[in-house]
Structure 1
Amino acid sequence: MSVLPDPGASRAVLIGTSRYDHLERLPAVSNNLTALADLLSGPLSLRMPTPHVTVVENPPDPATVMNPLRQAAAEATDTLLVYYAGHGLIDPHDALALALPHTHPGRVETSLAYDWLRQILLDSPAQRHIVLLDCCYSGRALGRMSASQGLADQAAVEGTFLLAASAETRTALAPVGDTHTAFTGALLETLRHGIPGGPPLLDLETIYRHLRLTLEARAHPVPQARNRNTGARLALGRNHADLPTTPVTTEASVEPDHRLWPDPTSIRTITGFLTNLAAVREVSGLTQQEVSRRSAGRISTGTISRLTNRGALPAAWNTTAVYLAACSVPDDQIQQWHRTWQKLRNTATKTQEPFTATPQGSTAEQGKARRRFSALWRGRDHRLGSAGAEAPEGRG
């Protein structure tokens, strides 16, 4: 089963070299870094908090790469994503090296040995790793490489899905005048626009197969991939070609039990809870106005906006329950959401971390909210109070 990583427990390090002293320059790499960082932090991909995505552009020496990579690897407990764009070299010992601005083709010490990066991945507490290598091979800089051993084999790491561009020339990797390199450009297009007829989640195996077809059709070298354990099932985003493009307006058409809702059981952090809560409405295909209408006015569009864009865990549960039910999330999944909310709330309380930006309200109000929520589960009161009454702001 394909899964999306928890953005709050995941980290990404994007490394790229566009300027070289002794190798062909790759100006499109700079655009790659900017676009990929924005995408990973945005709604079209993993929705990672901006501080969780580190960009290292034109690092002057290996230490400039290794230090932020070590930090990200230590912080990631769900998924660690590492991306490199630039020249890939093979040293005299047939080991992969990543070229830096001052790399000299005949001096291996001036590049970043992939084995160093690989060791950090192996030592990371992250359960899953993604390695994306958009490496250019210039005939003058390549050195030697075994014909039977490709880039993906060179870079394999246990517990990792590795996706590598297998480009032999500068022209194939970065066509003149193009904004992005061929491989990264195709990857960005896939995440932004989706794959018509594809699965609800764009897992790495699906992305790899689509990129092979796309790049081959464009007469570009096709990528290589290696999967260790279950890395192929990890997704980089939802398939936006498969999501509803127009709001649902009739009761008969809003029974989306077949849709792939965000999985609350995979949420480990408050950031992941809030991110997936916002994604629920996206999957439902409903506007905020339609969600409010389906709640019989119990939550307004303003409340929905505050709920899905807040920066802290809701202090109480009732508004979240109404929101999920109005989006047509199945009852058993709403119960899972509730259990995840309780777990995160208890964890935040134990660590004395704030889980709400506003007071919870009086004990009487909390008891009333619990009774309303219990009525929802029993199916005896779908109004959750008088029509048009809205849960107090800040109570979740």
Structure 2
Amino acid sequence: MSVLPDPGASRAVLIGTSRYEHLEQLPAVSNNLTALAGLLSGPLSLRMPAPNVTIVENPRDSSTVMDPLRQAAAEATDTLLVYYAGHGLIDPHDALALAMPHTQPGRIETSLNYDWLRQILLGSRAQRHIVLLDCCYSGLALGRMSASQGLADHAAVEGTFLLAASAETRTALAPVGDTHTAFTGALLDTLRHGIPGGPPLLDLETVYQHLRRTLKARAHPAPQARNRNSGARVALGRNQADLPAAPVTAAAGPEQPDHRLWPDPSAISTVIGFVTNLAAVREVSGLTQQEVSRRSAGRISTGTISKLVNRDTLPATWTTTAAYLSACGVPDDQIQQWHSAWQELRRNASATQEPRTGTPGGGTTEAGKARRWLSALWRGRGH
């Protein structure tokens, strides 16, 4: 079954090189990074908080990439997404190397060895990993992934999906004058507009098959993919083509069609995940805030709904959330699952706020951790 990652427990590191001293310039890569970061943080994709998405653009050296990547790998407990766009090179051992601004052909030490990135995945706390490579010869990474028994064993437990823009012997396409590279441009279009007739969630296998058909029809290099365990079932967003085209009217009644796929409360492990999924409930229902308020029989106003789905803390009481879910048409059994998720988050918050033995100042709050994490992210950005 496809699953959307909890945005609060997930991290993304987007790496790209658009300016080169010795190789052809790739100005579209800069646009790739900005657009993909915006999508991952927005309602069309994973709704990840902006601090959870790190951009490393035109890294000055390998540590500029590896440091924020290690930080993200240490923080992510749900999903870790790693993206690279730029020139890909082949080293003397036929392995993939990722080019940086100062990379020189024939001097492999000036590039970022893909295997270094791969090692970060081995030590990650994340349950699932997504690797997106938009570069020449990125298909080499598929072979490198399967070459190590250690990584195969790890992926069988954790779940890994690697999507590469081109096969081992094909170069990726960056059409001159286009806003984005061919592969990333097609990926962005898929997340923005969805796949007509596709499933409610755009899992990686569905996205891969759609990109392959789309790019081959345009006579562009066909992407390659490698899946380990449950990696293919991780979704990058809801299928925008599957959502209601217009708000549901009052005449439609409170019950929603049986095929509607509601956000799964059992996949929620953070407050951010709880709140962002509450917002997604209304979008899936097809109702406006005014209609949700009307169906609640006056229990919640439109202003209350707006505050509920735009807050950054857990709702203090359950009554309003229950009324909102019911008015949106969520089945009673799923509302009980939401209640259980809310109770679990409350217990976790209480435990976090309890003083810890030997810790000056009575322990560390979740908010304090978030502030330090945000500070570390900004220090690690490679702008």
Give, as a single letter, the amino acid of the residue that structure 2 aligns with 1:153: G
Aligned ranges 1:53-64 → 2 under 5 Å: 53-64=53-64
Q: Which residue of 1 aligns with 2:362?
A: none
CA RMSD in angstroms, aligned pairs only: 1.6
- Corresponding position of 1:37: 37
- For 1:236-290, what per-residue CA distance to the aligned partner results, in whole angstroms no more than 9, with x for missing partners? 0000000001111135454224210000001000010001011000000000000
Aligned counterparts of 1:339 and 1:246: Cα–Cα separation in 2: 32
| Equivalent position amino acid for 2:22 in 1 | H
Q: How far did residue 150 of structure 1 move?
A: 4.1
Partner of 2:224: 224
The reply on whether 1:281 has 2:282 as its aligned counterpart is yes
Whether the 8 Å contact between 2:15 and 2:55 is mirrored in structure 1 is yes
Letter in 2 for 1:44: L
Task: Report the residue type matching 2:193 in the other structure.
Answer: H
In structure 2, C-alpha distance between the alignment counterparts of 1:297 and 1:259, rounded to whole Å: 25
The alpha-carbon deviation at position 354 of structure 1 amounts to 7.5
Q: Please state whether the residue corresponding to 1:12 is helix, strand or coil.
A: strand
**Identity over the aligned pairs, expressed in percent?**
79
Q: Post-superposition, which runs of at least 4 consecutive aligned residues in structure 1 deviate over 4 A?
A: 167-170
Cα distance, 1:45–1:165 mapped onto 2, change above 3 Å: same
**Residue in 1 aligned with 2:357?**
none
Q: Report if aligned partners of 2:266, 2:341 keep a CA contact under 8 Å in 1.
A: yes
Determine the C-alpha separation between the residues in 1 that align with 2:262 and 2:117: 35
Answer yes or no: is 1:8 the counterpart of 2:8.
yes
The equivalences for 1:281-320 within 5 A come to 281-320=282-321
For the pair shown, the structure with the greater C-alpha radius of gyration is 1
Paired residue for 2:380? Answer: none
CA contact (8 A) 2:9 2:79 kept: yes
Shift of 1:136: 2.7
Alpha carbons 2:250, 2:291 under 8 Å: kept: no
Matches within 5 A, 1:51-90: 51-90=51-90
2:264 equivalent to 1:263:
yes
The answer on whether the counterparts of 2:254 and 2:327 sit within 8 Å (CA) in structure 1 is no
Partner of 2:206: 206
**Structure 2: segments with no counterpart, 5+ residues:** 354-364, 368-383
Contact 1:114–1:155 (CA<8 Å) still a contact in 2?
no
Match of 1:154 in 2: 144
Shift in alpha-carbon separation, 1:296–1:253, aligned structure 2, 3 A: closer
For residue 324 of structure 2, what is the aligned residue in structure 1? 323
Q: After TM superposition, give the deviation of residue 169 of structure 1 in Å.
A: 7.2
Please list the CA deviations of residues 275-314 of structure 1 after superposition, one character each: whole Å capped at 9, or x if unmatched: 1011000000000000000011111000000001011000
Aligned to 1:106: 106
Q: Equivalents in 2 of 1:307, 1:84: separation in Å?
A: 36
Report the Cα offset of residue 27 of structure 1: 0.6
Q: Distance in 2 between matches of 1:118 and 1:223?
A: 19
Contact 2:254 2:295 in 1 (8 A): no
Q: TM-score, normalised by structure 1?
A: 0.84
Query: For 2:129, what is the secondary structure of its paired residue?
Result: strand
In structure 1, how many angstroms separate the alpha carbons of the residues matched to 2:103 and 2:170? 18
Alpha-carbon shift at residue 344 of structure 1 (Å): 0.1
Show structure 1 runs of 5+ residues with no match.
138-144, 356-396
Superposed, which structure 2 residues align to 1:99-138 within 5 Å?
A: 99-136=99-136
CA distance in 2, matches of 1:87, 1:306: 45
Question: Structure 2: how far apart are the matches of 1:175 and 1:215?
Answer: 13
**2:187 aligned residue:** 187
Question: Which whole-Å CA distance do the structure 1 matches of 2:93 and 2:254 have between them?
Answer: 60
Q: Between the two structures, name the one with larger relative contact order (CA 8 Å, sep ≥ 6).
A: 2
Amino acid at match of 1:86: G
- Offset of 1:201 from its aligned partner? 0.0
Shift of 1:154: 2.6
Judging by fraction of residues, say which structure has more helix.
Answer: 2
Q: What is the aligned partner in structure 1 of residue 197 from structure 2? A: 197
SS of residue in 1 equivalent to 2:23: coil
- Paired with 1:152 and 1:190, the residues of 2 have a C-alpha distance of 23
> In the alignment, what sits opposite 1:48?
48
* Number of equivalenced pairs: 344
Q: Deviations over 1:321-352 (max 9, x none)?
A: 00000000000000000000000001101111
SS at match of 1:136: coil
Cα distance in 2 for partners of 1:354, 1:56 equals: 26
Separation (CA, whole Å) in 1 of partners of 2:140 and 2:116: 19
**Is the CA contact 1:153–1:226 (under 8 Å) kept in the aligned structure 2?**
no
* Structure 1 position 237 matched with structure 2 position 227: no
Question: Is this contact kept in 2: 1:151–1:166, CA < 8 A?
Answer: no
Letter in 2 for 1:195: I
Structure 1 distance, partners of 2:288, 2:45, is: 20
Residue 152 (structure 1) shift: 2.1
Q: Deviations over 1:208-238 (max 9, x none)?
A: 0000011011110000000001100000000
